[in-house]
Structure 1
């Protein structure tokens, strides 16, 4: 038994499985077939590498398994067999096709759940079982999403390419949204787990890959900075019982200041393009928190201005909720509550809305109403860390 660390195994597979898939798709000419071959190779690696160790050339190992598997199973089309028989690794003078792969997986013709599942499976090399475990859904559900997505790609003739310049902005927005959704689910799960480090790792890796492939796109840098700024305080986010620690109560000495500084450097470089976007603004807001050595040093007026700008570019009830939180510290709880009350209809099923309302009501001395709001928030969340925090509040104030 070699005892390969799971984190190292995941890192190597992310790097090389996506590269293999990106090379096979244009050579074989069939997205679904190439994806199946890569998944067979990934499954074999997950079975063998923990026992034998990661090979010196993991890319060649994965290619050999994929090629052998393809020659074994591809009976229906002699054309595929001829192509596979001629393939050698590494493919001579092959460019990095992973950007085409990412844009194909995130094509707007596919549903958002299918985009997420396909990206994690093809680009990151996760198996269906791993994706299902990460999102706490049945494996059959993920398998169906992937199967439907591959059929849609084939039936609709979705091209394997980076979009043309006039198509790039909306398509890049799709890609960034998928990565952002993966990170959000990893950072604070909507299911009955506190968080998923694996999904957070995958999201950061995808954002880093995209930043490497598209260094001149400022929103890509903004998203990478946002993810890394959030992850820099991972060590302080949960208490010993697994409950969430509010930002104001976190031990800031546990924050990774080197990671904060590096992320702010990425954000600063992105800002030099003078093309602000939602991810850059969100990262700037998190940077304001990260740069404050104490909770009392937080620059709330600047944060509220950034939320005003964010609302102009990307208006949503959740952003208005976050701006109301900033209003609490610039204009007081009564003004914040007035902003919050305007969101009651659109955020009725959102637990953080009710938890925030409870804090504002408690600031105003309306403890009975605050307890009701906390109970409503508790009834809406499955996340155990949120449940623990809300339970503590109810115990403390009732």
Structure 2
């Protein structure tokens, strides 16, 4: 098994092992520390000694051993516990995946929404503190302190380890869905690094979304989120060249799109939209389905895409939604209309200097014939992203429209920045 293979296995097992320990012993913070130590031990030992027959049981045993070490101060008793833990047989570990329960525990009502999201991304999603900090646009030290306080509050609250009921479940479910959305986005378009995708995170988000949908099939937003993930992930193989360069939506080989995921996602969209009310994930899934319906980029139903974004903007105002609506508006009414809408985001501190706003404005300026303006914004966008793949793509766009460059700028991208 390759190093990435070990990483994928450990990422999937870690939340299950953490759920087992928290169910047995409580003490969320101490259990998470013990699991992290067990994962580290596995990362060192398994490549040299081979993966155990029951890797989950191995991790539970080692994590329990570490936890007992923390709980017992007497050296003699500690050594006896080490020996006893080493003799635990795999059958002693319940064959139960508590990941979903752990998701709801991380979304405890005593925590703020930001802390709920950060803790879940750390404990269940497997993101590093640095990755979570980038998602929240805060310093890593700030995020580390936030996660630590969240774990302490969960422990102090003494929450039972089980799925909540009624209104409490509904409240926590909204946060759970948002967390899974963030995990998927980080996996589909990594915020930093040399690779555009982090397939392990995207697949984990889909796995957890399936678990939530299976437990709560009547929840149309949970259905919509799963549909959105499947329809978006269906395009993954077409998003990069063999060299790892980004391919925009309008230039992708749609024959590489995964029709099985598209068909499944489309059916889920139909089920989600049949509900009594519309939510953000249902609408985003409907937009993804509209893109999937188009055999070629030129056949995209942009008026429908714009109408869906307009509804989404009304029920869930967000600068990123407005940004994407500007792209759709430019496709239906021209780049000037899109640029006018983008200008309404210039005073939004959340978007100040954000590479998405800069890159979309560059694209629309290019379509409007302003090569100098497009060049400047492509360059600024390239400097603002932490993703090497996106940076290379933006730099290539800048080179294409460089005012002093030779010849015409080449074919215009369509829908740059939306649904990629």
Q: Which residue of 2 aligns with 1:380?
A: 384
Cα deviation for residue 329 of structure 1 reads: 1.5
TM (normalized to structure 2)? 0.79
Residue aligning to 1:185: 186
Which residue of 2 is the match for residue 316 of structure 1? 318
Q: 1:344 to 1:74 in 2, by over 3 A?
A: same
| Cα distance in 1 between the residues matched to 2:327 and 2:389 | 20
- 1:89-128 maps to which residues of 2 (within 5 A)? 97-107=98-108, 109-110=110-111, 115=116, 118-123=119-124, 126=126
Q: Displacement, 1:30?
A: 2.2
Q: Contact between 2:362 and 2:377, CA under 8 Å: does it hold in 1?
A: yes
1:202, distance to aligned residue in structure 2 (A):
3.0
Please state if 1:327 is matched with 2:329.
yes
- Report the alpha carbon displacement of residue 75 of structure 1 after superposing the two structures with TM: 0.9
Residue 408 of structure 2 corresponds to none
| CA contact 1:63–1:89 (8 Å) conserved in 2 | no
Matched residue, 2:29:
32
- C-alpha distance after superposition, 1:199-242 (max 9, x if no partner): 32332333233233333322222222222222221122123443
Corresponding residue for 2:269?
267
Moved more, 109-118 or 191-200: 109-118
* Counterpart-to-counterpart distance in 2, 1:182 and 1:210: 15
Q: Could you list the runs of 5+ residues in structure 2 that have no partner in the other structure?
A: 404-420
Secondary structure of the 1:102 match is helix
* Residue 314 of structure 1: how far off its partner (Å): 0.8
Closer, same or farther in 2 for the Cα pair 1:14/1:210, shift >3 Å? farther
Match of 1:203 in 2: 205
- Quote the residue 1:364 is aligned against: 368
Distance 1:356 1:159, change over 3 A: same
Residues of 2 paired with 1:236 and 1:259: CA distance?
A: 14
Aligned residues between the structures: 389
Paired position in structure 2 for 1:237: 239
Structure 2 counterpart of 1:342? 344
| Structure 2 counterpart SS, 1:242 | coil
Q: CA deviation at 1:157?
A: 4.1
State the Cα deviation string for residues 161-183 of structure 1 (Å, max 9, x = none): 43331233332121122222222
Q: Deviations over 1:30-84 (max 9, x none)?
A: 222333333333333333333344333333333333334444442159xx99x99
- Give me the CA root mean square deviation: 3.5
